[in-house]
Amino acid sequence: MPSATITILDNPSEEDHQAIVNPLLAFNHAQTGDDRYEQIAIMLNNEAGGAVGGLWAM
C-alpha cells in the first residue's frame, strides 16, 4: 500500500478544495448517477449538551 500523509491546513486554497471535492463528486455520480450533496456536521458536546467542537462538511 502506498504511503500517505495527513496534513491539516488552516487556510486551504481553492485548489485544495477542488482536489477533494472533484473526485468525491465523480465517485458519487458514478455510483448513484447523482452528484448532489448536503451539508453535515459532527458535533462534540459537553455533559450539559453545549457544543464544544466538531466537524463541518459541505
Average pLDDT, the chain: 91
Give the span between the Cα atoms of 30 and 35, in whole angstroms.
9
pTM above 0.85, yes or no: no
Percentage, residues of the chain above pLDDT 90: 67
The grid coordinates listed for 53 are 467542537
Angle at 16 between CA 57 and CA 41, to 5 degrees: 5
The grid coordinates listed for 48 are 450539559
Angle at 40 between CA 39 and CA 45, to 5 degrees: 145
Residue 58 has pLDDT above 80, yes or no: no
Kindly list the domain boundaries of the chain, sorted by start residue: 14-57
